[in-house]
Amino acid sequence: MAFDIRCIKCNVKLVFDEPPAAGELIECPKCDTTFPAPALALAAAENKDVEVKKPAHIPKKVRPKERVHFSSPLLLLIVGGIMAVLFGVLSVWWWWLYKAGKAEDMLACVPDNFNVIRGVNMKAMSNYPKMKPEQEKFFDGEAQGVYVDVAKVLDITGDNSLHYFVSAKEAGKANTPTLLIFLTRRPFDPAKLGGGSVTAYPGRKQAQVICPDNRTIAVAWGGGGNEGAILNAVAANARAKPSDGMHTKVGTAGLMAIRGHIWTIIRPVGGLQNYFKSSAELIKEDGSMKALMDAFAGSSALVSWTSFGSGGVRFGAGMNCVDKDTAKDLVKDMKNGPMGKADESEPPHKIKTLFNFLTVHKEFLQYLEYRNSGECAYLISKIGDPEKARDALGAFNNQNRATGGGTGFDAMRGGGGIPGGPPAGVGVGAGGNDQDRRR
């Protein structure tokens, strides 16, 4: 039984496993005062039926059990340190989750009238050389030739000099230019290419180029003579980074897509006003997916993206719905529908026709998840072996989607196209039609 005695000087409580004998010397560990055990210690011990040893010789000093005392400043310091670490971890997580960085800056440069925009994170893709065919679907021989020609004039050397590549098109409208925007890893001297003024492209007739800053190159060609006006708009956006730029018009879905290594954004504006409605009609026969059909018809942006890593290939696709409730309801409907049962899913007939890789890759269905964020409803999945993911990559990284031949949703299976759109071969990254190609 523990026994307490107060120090006669500092009044701190001293705790003993056994009561000291009366008169036995006690040394206070706090103030170092030595004093004899009081007589009441004996009485208290006797009242508790505790046997007390009486000293038979000269008393010796005894010390009570050491007690650990935490001071308030020390406790606050420990708690503050823990909170600081947690805040740092959460801040990094938040930044990583919502960052867009260079991709968002480049997206902001694209003029408002463009409705098909694609991007490739060239710096990230350099870590996955086996995926070069996927990269070259958009950064193809034509785009590579353009960059090499301009890079020579700007004295940009090295295979890894390009950080990011974005291509854009005003699809569904005749005689519109193809726009290519290059972001370099290192700065260059824009004065070598006319500075911030639109100049003739060094290796191609009827093409123009501008360098709005010391890391950005924009090239346009193939339009009805308005390449210069488009490039001036690109340069103005690059310098001002307007709060109402393209990065604000693609919604949550677009900002989510550009975090992928390769991505596509399609907007139902201009020549693509009826693109989503026509796409919705193609899945009308699958009555179990009416919510998806309705969401397509009212969407303001359709996106897809792929990313690569040690876990294989990650896929994503989404759309901006009319509002948050519509996005939430669509996700709920998809989870409860025929494609919400993991690897036991049985995609409807039309979906299997449009996405034939679903009949082969059960792994894609196994990891398929539906989620919503604000007005965006989206799906994610993965395939572990990149070599086995070629069919799925062909659907998600389709360079003809919304710009080549075909009709509506056929774009997702390789036909590309828009209702009443341009013929096959006129597409983003293709550098115009076949007779226009340099390589």
More confident residue, 415 or 322: 322
Q: How confident is the model at residue 343 (pLDDT cuts 50, 70, 90)?
A: low
Once rounded to an integer, what is the mean pLDDT over residues 354-367?
70
Task: Tell me how far apart the alpha carbons of residues 225 and 205 are, in angstroms, rounded to a whole number.
Answer: 12
Q: What is the pLDDT of residue 120?
A: 95
What is residue 170's three-state secondary structure?
Answer: coil
Once rounded to an integer, what is the mean pLDDT over residues 296-311?
90
Once rounded to an integer, what is the mean pLDDT over residues 382-395?
86
Rounded to a whole number of angstroms, the CA Rg of the chain reads 35
Secondary structure of the chain: what % helix, strand, coil (to 5)? Answer: 40, 20, 40
pLDDT of 90 over the 70 cut: no
Token readout for 301 is 């942006």
State in Å, rounded, how far the first CA of the chain is from the last one.
94
What is residue 111's three-state secondary structure?
Answer: coil
Once rounded to an integer, what is the mean pLDDT over residues 73-84?
76
For residue range 250-299, list pLDDT tens digits in order.
Answer: 999 999 999 999 999 999 988 888 888 777 776 666 665 777 888 888 89
Task: Tell me how far apart the alpha carbons of residues 98 and 424 are, in angstroms, rounded to a whole number.
Answer: 36
If you search the block for the tokens 């026509």, which residue do you land on? 278
DSSP string, 4-47: EEE-TTT--EEEESSPPPTT-EEE-TTT--EEEPPHHHHHHHHH
pLDDT of 59 over the 90 cut: no
If you search the block for the tokens 């090239």, which residue do you land on? 219
Task: Tell me how far apart the alpha carbons of residues 344 and 364 are, in angstroms, rounded to a whole number.
Answer: 11
Q: What is the pLDDT of residue 6?
A: 83
Q: What is the pLDDT of residue 277?
A: 77
Q: What is the pLDDT of residue 432?
A: 32
Task: Tell me how far apart the alpha carbons of residues 411 and 414 are, in angstroms, rounded to a whole number.
Answer: 5
* CA angle centred on 204, ends 201 and 209, rounded to 5°: 20
Once rounded to an integer, what is the mean pLDDT over residues 132-161?
88
Q: What is the pLDDT of residue 41?
A: 46
Q: How confident is the model at residue 435 (pLDDT cuts 50, 70, 90)?
A: very low
Once rounded to an integer, what is the mean pLDDT over residues 298-311?
91
Percent pLDDT > 90 in the chain is 30
Q: What is the pLDDT of residue 404?
A: 58
Q: How confident is the model at residue 121 (pLDDT cuts 50, 70, 90)?
A: very high
